[in-house]
Amino acid sequence: MSVGQTSFSSRIGRVEAGQDGLITGRGRGGAKQPNFIVGFVTGILAYVGFILGAWHLKEWAAVNFTTIEDFGIIVLGTIITGWIIRSLLKIQGKNVIRNHLLGIIVAFGTFHMAVHAFPEQIEMAFAPEWMAQTMSSTSPDFMTPDAGFLAARDVIMVKLESMETYQNLRAELAEELEN
């Protein structure tokens, strides 16, 4: 047996015994996998980053929206912003993406509350005009029809109810229930 084979065999033995300094079971290359908090925080940062960018680039206060197009732009923009953040920080994994989406959903439903609770701190990043517009058009409640989950539901339902397919389906179901 040559010296190279002996060296290789002894290294394999050390790796299998866990004595080679390698961290096993932690993903590709021995790198530690990000946990729940990392994914969650990147989701919140993605939403806040998109809202901040929407204001500074287009002067669009995207916290409250009234059309399905606005809602779609917010969702798509936040997902793209999140992908950029995760790519820059080299964060990956199914669990991270799931927690990232959870962070986006929580930020989407509660950011207007943070604006009301911490106006001085948020005004450091956003303009006073944005603050005034957001504070006047939303309420500090969790379930407010002005922003967050209820606004999304209302916008989606208005769009859905205006579709002819939905109207036909609704009429067929009503007819079947009567019979």
13-22, 69-78, 124-133, range with the lowest pLDDT: 13-22
Confidence tier at 32 by pLDDT (50, 70, 90): low
- At residue 64, the pLDDT reads 64
pTM over 0.85: no
Asked if the structure places residue 117 within a domain, the reply is: yes
* 120-172 residue pLDDT tens: 888 888 878 888 877 877 777 766 666 666 677 777 777 777 778 877 888 88
- Residue 142 included in any domain: yes
Would you say residue 100 lies in a domain? yes
- Determine the Cα angle at 63 with ends 144 and 53, to 5°: 165
Residue 95 lies in a domain: yes
Spatial contact of 101 and 43, defined as CB atoms under 8 Å apart:
yes
Domain count, the chain: 1
Is residue 86 included in any domain, yes or no?
yes
Residue 105 has pLDDT above 80, yes or no: yes
Q: Tokens for 102?
A: 């959870």
Closest CA to 49 of 78, 83, 17, 18: 78
In a domain, 79, yes or no: yes
Domain span holding position 43: 33-178
Tell me, yes or no, whether 27 lies in a domain.
Answer: no
Please compute the mean of the pLDDT values over residues 88-96 and round it to a whole number: 79
Is residue 21 situated within a structural domain? no
